[in-house]
Amino acid sequence: MFTILKKQELAPSVKLFVVQAPLIARKCQPGQFVILRIDENGERIPLTIADFDRAAGTITLIFQEVGHTTRQLGRLSAGDALLDLAGPLGKATHIEKFGTVVCVGGGIGVAPVYPIARAYKEAGNKVISIIGARNADLLILEQEMAAISDVLYITTDDGSKGRKGLVIDPLKEMLAAGEKIDLVMAIGPVIMMKSVAEVTRPYGVHTIVSLNPIMVDGTGMCGGCRVSVGNKNKFACVDGPEFNAHEVDFDGLMARQKMYHSYERREHRCGGDCSCHR
């Protein structure tokens, strides 16, 4: 069992847990994830490791309540425990001194971007971060990102915080202005990552995305998370989750993410009208 030591609400429906998991905390690197199962009847879901404390033996998980399992997770409190937690899984982010790195986080995607951006910074890069959300209430980790970024842009769809618009807007401007960018790392909804890929493609700026397909085991034994990258099938759980954005078949990924929509609706009996299906 893996005890939840601390729970914090970062935004409506976005929660942070600090979980006791010494074996995972000992080993994990930015870019890796865990698979968790709440209880005996639970499904296995992947969550990125948003932070870790090796000395304390803890990892930090941040999740948005989007369906049955994440909402059940959201109802847990400090002192409760998760039945299963496997990890660290996936390949770690390749960290070195590239020069100027732009880190883009959309919505809940800011959570996985944070440890990666921090590692880039620690490796001596100039880190320009762009974080965005639908509105000010949904924006997470602003202070944390500010602390490790040389420049931080904030965007919201409705303009309630930072610039009105999308996370790709500041990126477009930087590229158009001829700013030298050595690497872009983008994590968020698939449609956002696809947009980032299209923005950087004409400039030939190396762009990495962290993919979030459906997973079951997370260890490479089922292929449920397969995605087409450079016209080759890759298993995101072991070959990724990070890939060259300019080679990813984002439309295929988006279609596959919808595979269980009708089941997910049936499961929590909302009929598909709740906010989780927007």
Partner 1 sequence: MFVSSIKHKMPEQQPEIRRRNFDEVALGYDDTTAKAEASRCLQCKTAPCRQGCPVGINIPAFIKHIREGDFTAAIDEIKTKNNLPAICGRVCPQEDQCEKFCVVGKKGEPVGIGRLERFAADYARARGRKQKVILPPEPLGKVAIIGAGPAGLSAAGDLARMGYKVTVFEALHAPGGVLMYGIPEFRLPKEIVRQEIEELKELGVEIVVNAVIGKTFTIDELLTEEGFDAVFIGTGAGLPHFMDIPGENLNGVYSANEFLTRVNLMKAYKFPEAGTPVHAGKRVAVVGAGNVAMDAARTALRLGAENVYIVYRRSEEEMPARAEEIEHAKEEGVEFRLLTNPVRIIGDERGWVKGLECIRMELGEPDESGRRKPVPIANSNFVLDVDTVIMAIGQGPNPLVQQTTPGLAVNKRGNITTDETGRTSKEGVFAGGDIVTGAATVIQAMGAGKKAAAAIHEYVQNKRKGARNSQ
Give the footprint of partner 1 on this chain (CB under 8 A).
23-24, 27, 37, 41-44, 68-69, 83-89, 216-217, 219-224, 226-228, 233, 238, 249, 252, 255-256, 258-260, 263-264, 266-267
Q: How far is CA 133 from CA 12, 48, 109, 156, 258, in A?
A: 12, 18, 10, 5, 22
Shortest Cβ 36–partner 1 spacing (Å): 9
Neighbours of 32 (CB within 10 A): 22
Nearer to partner 1, 181 or 209 (CB): 209
Q: In whole angstroms, how close is the CB of 268 to partner 1 at the nearest point? A: 8
* Residue 23 identity: L
Closer residue to partner 1 (CB): 89 or 183: 89
The helix-helix angle for 250-257 and 190-200 (nearest 10°) equals: 180
Q: What is the H or E stretch that residue 101 is in? A: strand 100-106
Q: Is 63 or 153 the residue whose CB approaches partner 1 more closely? A: 63
User: Smallest distance from the beta carbon of 139 to partner 1, in angstroms?
Assistant: 30
Which residue, 24 or 128, is less far from partner 1 as judged by CB?
A: 24
User: In the bound complex, what is the minimum distance in angstroms from residue 95's beta carbon to partner 1?
Assistant: 18
CA distance 118 to 95: 10
How far, in whole angstroms, is CA 165 from its chain's centroid? 20
Q: Is 52 annotated as a binding residue?
A: no
Radius of gyration of the chain measured on its C-alpha atoms = 18
276 is in an annotated binding site: no
User: In Å, how far are 2, 106, 121, 168, 236 from 145, measured between CA atoms?
Assistant: 28, 13, 11, 17, 26
62 is in an annotated binding site: yes
Identity of the residue, 27 or 201, whose beta carbon is nearer to partner 1 in the bound complex: 27
Binding residues for FAD, as ranges, are 62-64
Binding residues for [2Fe-2S] cluster, as ranges, are 222, 225, 237
